[in-house]
Amino acid sequence: ETEAGVNQDKIFYSASIAKLPILYYVQEQLNAGQVALNTIVKYTAESISFNGAYKVSGSGSLLKTPDNKDYTIEELINKTAKESDNVASNLLSYYIANKFDDDFFQVTTAVTGSKWDMVSRETSAQVAGKMMEALYEQNGYVIESLLSTQFDNQRISQDIPVPVAHKIGDADDVKHDVAIVYAESPFVLSIFTDKSSYDEITQIANDIYGILK
């Protein structure tokens, strides 16, 4: 397989791109039969307050305060993948990834080759691309969920006429998008930026698609 990049090893704050290893780990547990899409977990105060939890004030439609209601893993995957819902991601991290236990890091580091710290959330575009490639290879519910999101009218997927599975991330000046572009020969495109714009990400994506389609 061929890989090309510009500053692909540069370390950034990855923001919501760090939901990719969480989603990958959940899919691994689904594949292994440890959990099912209809497995139910409860939204409690504990489930959003642990080391590495996202601030609930961010994106997503789940209530920002715990409602002690039950949610299925399927719902939580969809909210994390399609809305980048911080609460949903926290529930998956708390119940399925066991607040990022040793097994979580063993499984995810086996894919990326370097540990993706879930508290600092710092990583490179290259590592994020490897994680997205692994999600593609899992070929499970998660990658299907990432094919249709609330963010499809921007960044990598905005103009590209073939299906795109992608995960966006934003925080202050950083704007990222990591995608599988389902061209005739599918490829991974991982774009991390600082002080850039969504349109610039779109332009890069269009240029690369123009070459690889």
Q: Which of 25, 24, 101, 15 is nearest to 54 (CA)?
A: 15
Contact 61, 85 (CB under 8 A): yes
Domain spans of the chain?
Answer: 11-212
Q: Which of 188, 187, 170, 193 is nearest to 178 (CA)?
A: 188
DSSP assigned state of 175: E
Measured CA distances, 27 to 69, 124, 147, 178, 213 (Å) = 23, 22, 15, 18, 29
Triad 81, 207, 148: Cα angle to 5°: 20
User: Digits of tens for pLDDT over the chain (213 positions)?
Assistant: 789 999 999 999 999 999 999 999 999 999 999 999 999 999 999 999 999 999 999 899 999 999 999 999 999 999 999 999 999 999 999 999 999 999 999 999 999 999 999 999 999 999 999 999 999 999 999 999 999 999 999 999 999 999 999 999 999 999 999 999 999 999 999 999 999 999 999 999 999 999 999
Q: Which of 28, 116, 103 is nearest to 73 (CA)?
A: 28
Q: What pTM does this model have?
A: 0.98
Superfamily of domain 11-212: DD-peptidase/beta-lactamase superfamily (3.40.710.10)
Judged by DSSP in three states, 169 sits in strand
68 phi and psi, to 5 degrees? 55, 25
Q: What is the pLDDT of residue 2?
A: 86
